[in-house]
A = this chain, B = another copy of it.
Amino acid sequence: VNKFCRNTITNWRKLKLPFDSETFVLAVSGGADSVSLLAVFFELKQLGKLKLEFIVAHFDHNLRGKESDADADLVKFLAEKYSFQLVIEKANLSKSGNLEQIARNARYDFLARTALEHNAFGILTAHNQNDQAETFLMNLIRGSGLDGLSAMPEIRDVSSESKTKLIRPFLSWAKRIDTENYCNECEIGFREDSMNSDENFLRVKIRKKLLPFLRELNPKIIETISQTVKHLRFESQNSSEDALEIGDELSSSNLATLGESKRYRAIRKWLMHHRGNLRSIGMKHVESIDRLSRSRKSGREVELPGFERVIKKEGMLLFRKQRLKKP
């Protein structure tokens, strides 16, 4: 058995995931990472190592015209070749605002719906150590505490309302080059995402410029950061075990009993409760909410990304999301 295949099954066992009777959704964009995800789970099924059902889910962002069509065609071709059920959804995204974030939200929403419709155990994505290092550096550059630097977990609930798992079976051991090599060994093609070379995205700048420079200082920088993230995640979990119990409202007087680090943690946990994630939340937002909680002046509020606000009313912090009219 191929090494990439062996590593995948070893990690699957380590994560205590089911070996039979369940359905998983494979998130496949058509890039090397997700094509290798598709191929390796086909191989593991062929070999009889996993007796699972797989559904290929492709979200067509519909942002790059013919290129988007070609991505979808490749995924269609591969799903047919492997006899996997295929679900494709074509998006109609609003081009105003943070396009990257809008696209991600729409994609995860599609994946969660697909998993729910097929009663799937979980969604598999192809994130690897490179993505992990990039996420760490992105959060570092934007400003972050322990939570942000802990980057991505291997398994989490897909949202606060759902028990469906989001699983990243490559995250702890595979590098991007491993997924490309595996595709080449299997002699299957993959698509280059033209967004990968769009210098406007912070992630792409990190991938194309920052990481190559860091590699000069430490040739194993991807593994090193990935290892650091693993340890920070442990610390973060230890630390959140003794954090405040969080409800819909957050009481200023309860917060005031805590030291700075625990106040910040309680605020992050509360934001997590309302938003399902901490994306785009930087240290400055947490600090502003902390200041709001201690402020004696009324009528103040803190604005968060995505048209969200935190207001203070009778000593309680309240979370408000402004729903925008559909265009």
Contacts and interface: CB of A to CB of B under 8 A. Distances in A.
A235 B261 contact: yes
Interface string A249-292: 00000000001111010000000000000000001000000000
A238 interface: yes
Count this chain's copies in the assembly.
2
Interface string A85-117: 000000000000000000000000000000000
Nearest to A286: B231
Contact of A218 (B142, B145, B237, B238): B142
A143 B224 contact: yes
Given A234-B261, A238-B261, A283-B228, A213 B217 contact: no
A210 interface: yes
A260 B234 CA distance: 8
Contacts of A224: 140-143, 283
Contacts of A210: 213-214, 217
A146 B238 contact: no
Nearest to A283: B227
A179 to B, nearest CB: 24
A144 interface: yes
A199 to B, nearest CB: 11
Contact of A213 (B146, B149, B213, B221): B213
Interface string A222-247: 00110110011011111100000000
Given A213-B209, A214-B210, A217-B205, A235 B234 contact: no
A215 B217 CA distance: 18
Contacts of A262: 238
A202 interface: yes
Contacts of A142: 218, 224
Nearest to A136: B140
A238 B261 CA distance: 8
Given A140-B228, A225-B140, A145 B217 contact: no
A146 B234 CA distance: 10
A173 B175 CA distance: 39
A283 to B, nearest CB: 6
Interface centre among A141, A144, A235, A262 (most CB of B within 10 A): A235
Contacts of A144: 228
Contacts of A238: 239, 259, 261-262
Given A234-B259, A239-B239, 12 more contacts: A140-B224, A140-B228, A142-B224, A143-B228, A145-B232, A149-B232, A209-B213, A210-B214, A231-B264, A231-B283, A235-B239, A235-B261
- Top 5 nearest A-B pairs (CB, nearest first) are A234-B261, A145-B231, A143-B224, A146-B235, A141-B218
25 contacts: A140-B224, A140-B225, A141-B217, A141-B221, A141-B224, A142-B218, A144-B228, A145-B228, A145-B235, A146-B146, A146-B235, A149-B149, A149-B228, A149-B232, A202-B217, A209-B213, A210-B217, A213-B213, A228-B283, A231-B261, A231-B264, A234-B259, A235-B235, A235-B239, A235-B261
